[in-house]
Amino acid sequence: MSKKITIVGAGLVGSLEAIYLAKRGHNVSVYERRSDIRKAELVAGRSINLALSTRGWTALKKVGIDDEVRKMAISMPKRIMHAQDGTLSEQPYGQDGEAIYSVSRGGLNVLLMNLAEREKNIDLYFNHKLISTDLNKAQAVFEDEKAKEQIVNADVLIGADGTYSTVRNHMMRQDRFQFSQYYIEHGYKELTIPANPDGSHQIETNALHIWPRGNYMLIALPNMDGSYTCTLFFPFEGEYSFESLKTHQQVEDFFNDVFPDIVPLIPNLVEDYFNNPTSSLSIMRCYPWTVSDKVLLIGDSAHATVPFYGQGMNAGFEGCYVLDKLMEKHGDDWKACFDEYSKYRKPDGDGVQDLSMHNFVVMRDKTADPQFLLQKKIELKFSKKYPEKWLPLYSMVSFSNIRYSDAWKIGQQQEALMQKIMSIPNIEGIWDSESVEQKMLALID
Ligand SMILES: Cc1cc2nc3c(=O)[nH]c(=O)nc-3n(C[C@H](O)[C@H](O)[C@H](O)COP(=O)(O)OP(=O)(O)OC[C@H]3O[C@@H](n4cnc5c(N)ncnc54)[C@H](O)[C@@H]3O)c2cc1C
């Protein structure tokens, strides 16, 4: 039976969920706090991008919009590491043909909104900020740009309003609602490597570039216009930190010393450093994600994570896919559907957060460690020969739809096993040998 559904937030997940619900015949109204980004000017010189991987593609495909998105995606089959002395090394992300994809956050959001508006049973409202709710009635009160309030009654209210969700804040007033937030010690700042005059990229296009430096790192993802968006993940406090780099000279010296090959690529590096904002990074956990058959949290509002596995959006998109499957299973029983969604997905919300924290250490530190790179080479060779016995953790997360909670569990078992392999004497010399392969087989069985 068709329902009247309110979605709060026309971000990436809210827009996609609207399309899913509309295709099931529901009447969907999406309320967004910001003005319509399709009419706004892009902030000059800034273009933020995200890595899209298999889970995201699976969810886009289910509603038939993956081909549209593919037109704006740049494949990144490998990561390229930039050492402090300028030496480059590279590591494929998966098997031949496997890649993660760089897409513009704004571009993807605009496309999803346009596709949503194409559905006759979706209405989008901008400059509407959720300020109050009656959760048991799925009622929402929005304030528009003239501070005029509008009461919206619906059958179902979906909170797709991101990390600092207002819907979730109101759920916190419910008895036995669990919530925790954790800010990591690092923040981030975006910088841009502009395109060459002919519009080409200054560094290799089809790769995610990393400058791993132990406790911090810089990464860069390509944009379609030839530019690269760089993100510096850096501690807020300490010897090398946002706090310690106070003057133009300190920033210049720091980059010349630590990221020397970046300096000639960014003409206004120091100005950009001081002009661009520094943002914090956090993990939000909560439970349950529903109130009866009336309210549901989806995307970052339910499981915001740090960005080090490039999975926040992918997890949110996968949530839309899983919810749709459960709607198919439960038909008109929305309470059963929401209950199962919350119980089934919560371990995966926790899983993607644990994986994201784990990958921060891998990216900023391990990718510069020859032992780690050797370990990954051994795993890749083994998994090519015995794909049914071994799928590397990165592949489970980025190139499969295996549940995050399972990937995290299996990944930890694999790591324990690989520690035994890496402690074999002279593993550097014999990693390719039959004896190492046999040892791995013996340890697995
Ligand atoms: C630096 C960084 C890099 C990232 N890189 C990746 C990556 O490579 N790959 C990946 O998969 N993920 C990545 N992510 C995560 C990804 O951005 C998020 O997981 C994703 O945007 C979540 O989508 P969402 O729709 O749930 O939330 P959002 O995108 O935050 O959208 C929420 C929407 O709700 C609106 N809203 C909020 N409050 C209200 C209110 N009261 N009333 C009305 N509207 C409201 C907001 O304006 C917004 O439009 C990254 C995140 C960061 C910070």
Q: How far is the CA of 12 from the centre of ligand 1 (A)?
A: 7
Residue 12, H or E segment? helix 12-23
pTM: 0.96
Residue 11's nearest CA partner among 31, 39, 26 is: 31
State the alpha helices, DSSP H only, in 365-400.
370-385, 393-398
Distance CA 365, CA 236 (A): 18
Q: Confirm or reject: Cβ of 31 under 6 Å from ligand 1.
A: yes
Res 40: pLDDT: 79
* End-to-end Cα spacing for the chain: 50
pLDDT tens per residue, range 318-355: 999 999 999 999 999 999 999 999 999 999 999 999 99
Q: Confirm or reject: Cβ of 316 under 6 Å from ligand 1.
A: yes
On whether the CB atoms of residues 157 and 138 are closer than 8 A, the answer is: yes
Percent of all residues in the chain with a pLDDT value above 90, rounded to a whole number: 93
Tell me 86's DSSP state: S
Q: Which of 8, 31, 50 to mutate to test the pocket of ligand 1 (most atoms within 8 A of CB)?
A: 50
On whether the CB atoms of residues 213 and 81 are closer than 8 A, the answer is: no
DSSP assignments along 135-193, one per residue: GGGTEEEEE-TT--EEEEE-SEEEE---TT-HHHHHHTTSTT-EEEEEEEEEEEEEEEE
On whether the CB atoms of residues 248 and 256 are closer than 8 A, the answer is: no
Q: Confirm or reject: Cβ of 157 under 6 Å from ligand 1.
A: no
Q: How far is the CA of 163 from the centre of ligand 1 (A)?
A: 7
* Cα–Cα distance list, 239 to 40, 188, 430 (Å): 40, 16, 40
Output the average pLDDT for the chain.
96
pLDDT confidence of 362, banded at 50, 70, 90? Answer: confident
3-state SS, residue 246: coil
Residue 235, H or E segment? strand 228-235
pLDDT tens per residue, range 61-94: 999 999 999 999 999 999 999 999 999 999 999 8
pLDDT tens per residue, range 345-354: 999 999 999 9
Res 46: pLDDT: 58
Res 432: pLDDT: 95
For range 380-389, the mean pLDDT: 93
Res 369: pLDDT: 87
Q: Confirm or reject: Cβ of 310 under 6 Å from ligand 1.
A: yes
Q: Confirm or reject: Cβ of 312 under 6 Å from ligand 1.
A: yes
Reading the block at residue 144, the tokens are 């528009």
Distance CA 206, CA 77 (A): 7
Q: Whose CA is nearest to atom 2 of ligand 1?
A: 307
Amino acid at 426: N
pLDDT confidence of 44, banded at 50, 70, 90? Answer: very low
pLDDT tens per residue, range 251-309: 999 999 999 999 999 999 999 999 999 999 999 999 999 999 999 999 999 999 999 99
Atom of ligand 1 nearest to the CA of 231: 1
